[in-house]
């Protein structure tokens, strides 16, 4: 089943979802209707602590990390299982759907 996780979970779609979630979390929560505040909100989204967010750089970083995880899970399955156990709050359920599986698991809360 570990290979199924590698092939079906650690995908390009996951990379894009992670990037979008990061950008969403970094976006300002409220936007005013005034032009001045709107410009500030756009600038705030593009800059975090004075640094401009480059989506391509962020995406490349996430893609690199996901590729590292894929490699680790393929080369060292026992270590990969241990790592998944530390990341998840409980078991993963696998539901066959045609020729693929659906995975469901709850992550541990991040401190």
Pairing label, strands 93-97, 51-52? unpaired
Q: What is the pLDDT along the chain (111 residues), one digit of tens a residue?
A: 677 777 777 888 888 888 888 887 776 655 455 666 767 666 666 555 556 678 888 899 988 988 888 888 888 888 888 887 888 888 888 888 888 888 888 888 765
Residue 110 in domain: no
Residue 91 in domain: yes
Residue 84 in domain: yes
Angle in degrees, CA 50, 52, 57, rounded to 5: 135
How many distinct structural domains can be found in the chain?
1
Q: How many residues does the chain have?
A: 111
In angstroms, the CA 101 to CA 94 distance is: 6
Residue 77 in domain: yes
Residue 42 in domain: no
pTM above 0.75, yes or no: no
Residue 76 in domain: yes
- Expressed as residue numbers, the domain containing 59 is 2-27+53-104
């Amino acid at each position: 089943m570990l290979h199924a996780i590698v092939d079906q979970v650690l995908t390009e779609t996951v990379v894009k979802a992670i990037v979008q979630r990061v950008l969403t979390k970094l976006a300002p929560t409220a936007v005013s209707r005034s032009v001045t505040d709107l410009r500030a909100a756009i600038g705030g989204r593009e800059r975090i602590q004075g640094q401009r967010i480059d989506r391509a750089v962020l995406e490349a970083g996430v893609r690199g990390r996901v590729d590292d995880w894929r490699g680790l899970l393929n080369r060292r399955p026992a270590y990969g299982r241990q790592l998944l156990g530390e990341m998840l709050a409980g078991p993963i359920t696998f539901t066959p759907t045609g020729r693929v599986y659906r995975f469901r698991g709850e992550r541990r809360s991040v401190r």
